Amino acid sequence: MKKFLVVLCAATMMLSLCACGSSKELIMATNAEFPPYEYHEGEEIVGIDVEIAQAIANEMGRELVIEDMNFDSIIMAVTTGKADIGVAGLTITEDRLESVNFSTPYTTAAQVIIVKEGSDIASPDDLVGRTVGVQLGTTGDIYAGDIEDATVERYNKGYEAVQALLQDKVDAVMIDSQPANVFVEQNEGIYVIDEAFTYEEYAIAVAKEDTELLAEINAAIAKLEESGELQAIIDKYIAAE
């Protein structure tokens, strides 16, 4: 009888562990100040990146958990194990590749320049010697630092940089194209100049040592691309131009 009970307990524990494994969490680090990729809608965080991460979690049989934080904390959250993935309109850069690996890119974007109506800034070359507002830790922050004689003002949120532009605290704002379009729609008197500063690809950040998770994410992205679900998510938020 004792032997039977030991075997029964062991079997129960195995079933319990399997059940836990099937609902394992996938923790996503993001900064929900980047519409339409991630932003607050009431108490909920929504957007392109959220739906893509949810679709990937579904493919993997995991429960998506979203951790909202400052943008410049996302890579560290992934490298320290506080989050499994970083999904926040993250561009693949050489600096970031020193700390994390990136998935297959899931979309492309551009760094654009927002100015006030009446501005004489008409191209990236006109940013020389100007004051440029950026969101801290973004690729816009990185690129702005390379502009000759420019003063870079850094803000925790893209919206704060736009407000600085409206208040004449900066001459221009450099930010990703889709959030830029949202900010322009929400605020009168500003617009995006025609020439983009640069083009880039967005991907999901994963810890260097977590190669198994990276492979699972890449497989999920490939499946979502093949089924058309990935493009459908993007099209839901971004109208074709």
- Secondary structure (3-state) at 201: strand
Alpha-carbon separation of residue 190 from 7, 129, 156, 176 (angstroms): 71, 20, 20, 15
Spatial distance between the Cα atoms of 225 and 35, rounded to a whole number of angstroms: 22
Per-residue pLDDT reduced to its tens digit, 47-90: 999 999 999 999 999 999 999 999 999 999 999 999 999 999 99
Q: Which helix (H) or strand (E) holds 22?
A: helix 2-22
> What distance in Å separates the CA atoms of residue 238 and residue 168, rounded to the nearest whole number?
29
Within the chain, which residue ranges are assigned CATH 3.40.190.10? 25-106+203-237, 110-199
* Interatomic CA distance for residues 144 and 133, integer angstroms: 9
**pLDDT, tens digit only, all 241 positions of the chain:** 444 444 444 444 444 444 443 459 999 999 999 889 999 999 999 999 999 999 999 999 999 999 999 999 999 999 999 999 999 999 999 999 999 999 999 998 899 999 999 999 999 999 999 999 999 988 899 899 889 999 999 999 999 999 999 999 999 999 999 899 999 999 999 999 999 999 889 999 999 999 999 999 999 999 999 999 999 999 898 764 4
Domain 110-199 has CATH 3.20.20.150: no
Contact call for residues 173 and 147 (beta carbons, < 8 A): no
Give the residue carrying structure tokens 């760094």. Answer: 111
8 Å CB contact between 59 and 223:
yes
Whole-number Å distance between alpha carbons of 164 and 79: 32
Q: Which fold has domain 25-106+203-237?
A: D-Maltodextrin-Binding Protein; domain 2 (3.40.190)
The type of residue at 35 is P
Tokens 């320049």, residue located? 113
Output the CA–CA distances (angstroms, integers) from residue 194 to 110, 115, 120, in the order listed: 12, 11, 13
Distance of alpha carbon 159 from alpha carbon 167, whole angstroms: 12
Q: Write the pLDDT tens digit of every residue in 2-22.
A: 444 444 444 444 444 444 434
